[in-house]
Amino acid sequence: MDQVSVVCRRRHLSRRTEQAYRFWIRRYIHFHSRQHPRVVGPPGIVAFINHLASVGAVSASTQSQALNALLFLYRDVLEVEIGHLSGLKRIQRRDRLPVVLSVDQVAAILAQMEGITALMAHLLYGSGLRVTECMTLRVKDVDMGAGLIHVRAGKGGKDRTTLLPRQLERLLQRQLLRVAGMHKQDLARGAGFAPLPNALERKYPSASQSLAWQFLFPSRVVRTCPQTGRRLRWHASESGVQMAFKAALHQAEIAKHASVHTLRHSFATHLLAAGTDIRTIQLLLGHRNLKTTMIYTHVEQAIRTTVSPLDRLHTR
């Protein structure tokens, strides 16, 4: 498994992707009675993936993730030629419209939130960020003067720039001062290091202790890095804002199957309803394919006011 991690990092895959791949590779090895994948060979992939579909009852996206993990294992880690996987049964992916909250519903939910998690939720809706992107923002990524937020290594390893809501400037300035004060205390205790992506720590050894590279939403605890012995302060956990959103959704008495990611869907749909062109929304969301963004045109059309034929009947 160490070799899997080495190849993941060499290819600059995200930590989350690495964790997912390690998980599925372990499941695969246990499925084949702990035999080495070289012994099982590529045909073992078909048996495992079909098992997930028939017995595991997983979703299409979960099955695809497991398949990608095993293709990565054989092609990139073990360097084994796979060839055609005959008999592979793929789960049919269902076309689902994303859950979207109305403007009033978003306002009602945000009004129930407070503190740091409220600021996070406001950013998710006001800037269209993914939860992970929000958690991994650094001090240097907030450009108050230009009213922009720079997202580094978002989904797919892509950088992009999105809106910084003017309404949040004062709260963000207060948060930046809080981070600066915490960082000053950490430095006085011999800590003050932030983890850096890829090989930047070797290229810029002093950057890890600079304020610019500290997380905008830092963790409450400092952890010691086992490799370097440095005392690192990571970013806050995603679970904090996720649980706070669920509680606010309940308190606002909104009966929708929504998650904190719904705020991103709502950001796109409300921009479209306000007349923002679809290409601009694609850039703000960081979608590679315009077809991904086009789904919001269907959502926006679905929530427009449409007169029922029954109502037309009664108006005659």
DSSP 150: E
Q: With CA atoms as reference, report the closest residue to 163 among 188, 181, 178, 143.
A: 143
Is 261 in the active site? yes
d(CA 293, CA 306): 23
Q: Which of 140, 160, 231, 261 is catalytic?
A: 261
Is 204 in the active site? no
Is 264 in the active site? yes
Q: With CA atoms as reference, report the closest residue to 117 among 257, 248, 267, 268.
A: 248
Strand 148-151 and strand 142-143: the pairing is antiparallel
3-state helix, strand and coil shares in percent for the chain, rounded to the nearest 5: 60, 5, 35
Q: Which of 122, 130, 265, 270 is catalytic?
A: 130
Q: Which of 183, 233, 265, 287 is catalytic?
A: 287
> 106: burial class by Cβ within 10 Å (0-12, 13-18, 19+)?
buried
d(CA 184, CA 211): 9
Is 155 in the active site? yes
Is 12 in the active site? no
CA distances for 313 relative to 194, 304, 310, angstroms: 65, 20, 5
Q: Which of 15, 27, 140, 155 is catalytic?
A: 155
Distance of CA 242 to the CA centre of its chain: 12
Q: Which of 21, 74, 125, 296 is catalytic?
A: 296
d(CA 225, CA 58): 36
Distance of CA 230 to the CA centre of its chain: 27
- On whether the CB atoms of residues 42 and 28 are closer than 8 A, the answer is no
Is 287 in the active site? yes
Q: Which of 138, 233, 264, 265 is catalytic?
A: 264
Positions marked catalytic:
130, 155, 261, 264, 287, 296
